[in-house]
Structure 1
Amino acid sequence: MTAKRAATVLTMTLVAGLSAAPAANARQSAQEAPRTVAAQPVRPAIPFQCNMHGNNWCAHVTAIDSGSYLALHRKPDYEHGTVSGVQYHNGDTVGLICWTTGDPDADGNGDTYWFDVTDQNYNYGYVNDWYLTTGGYNDWHGHVPECGPIV
């Protein structure tokens, strides 16, 4: 086994959650082949082109804790309530209609950008930028227009 191949197997073994230390039972370790980990597709960290109800840019929901969900808000804040029954989870896709500013994200990161979004079920409302794979301001600003006055 070449040094490069050994390093690859060691890396893959560590990624798979196995110990890099020699097994206590040499016979057992000889019988078990190292587990390999299939590469997971990386979701873009910037808006991507799509066609969701006439919107040309989309993003995926991200950074939502297991067992939790991202609510769709009526306005870009936490005081005006949410759209009943709409829950987004990591990986869900939303269409980006426009952007505005509002309350900082609920996790305390200071992100005050919000997107007016839609989804495959024609729900409309606002979600904070922190929970979308939109990248930074310069990644989406040239593609997604600023929202008009919010009433």
Structure 2
Amino acid sequence: MIALLQRAQRASVSVDGTSIAHIETGICTFVGVTATDDHSNAARLAKRVAAYRLFSDSAGRMNVNVVDAGGAVLAIPQFTLAADTSRGNRAGFGPTAEPAIANTLFDVFVAELNTRDAPVATGRFGADMQVELVNDGPVTFWIEG
């Protein structure tokens, strides 16, 4: 599984013009699922996201994770993260998981995040979402689980 983490001052997601999720300070996390992922990948990725140090300590160094910063996570399913972009001008989606599997693993990822003491809000799997984000820094990391 893949997560694109963006430290956010605030972030929200809407579907059909209606806001469905919103966070203030925290991490906006776009999550992609590959065809080779399983429950262990989802659990490992959630653990990494919760522990990843994106926030500054008193010395100004990125040594604080989202939980210790008092932040939240906005998790948004995004199948395009798992696309093959190695050649040409159009992505290939062969490496992505089938929707039913990806949805299940996204749910496992969210459930695991919920056990880690950071408030979690989510986008809607399979929906056409509009995401608003104020990236803080900007700070953006791409990680795998």
With the shorter chain as reference, the TM-score category is under 0.3
Larger radius of gyration: 1
Provide TM-score, normalisation by structure 2: 0.26
Provide TM-score, normalisation by structure 1: 0.26
Higher RCO (C-alpha under 8 Å, 6+ residues apart): 2
Looking at secondary structure, tell me which structure has more strand per residue.
Answer: 2
Looking at secondary structure, tell me which structure has more helix per residue.
Answer: 2
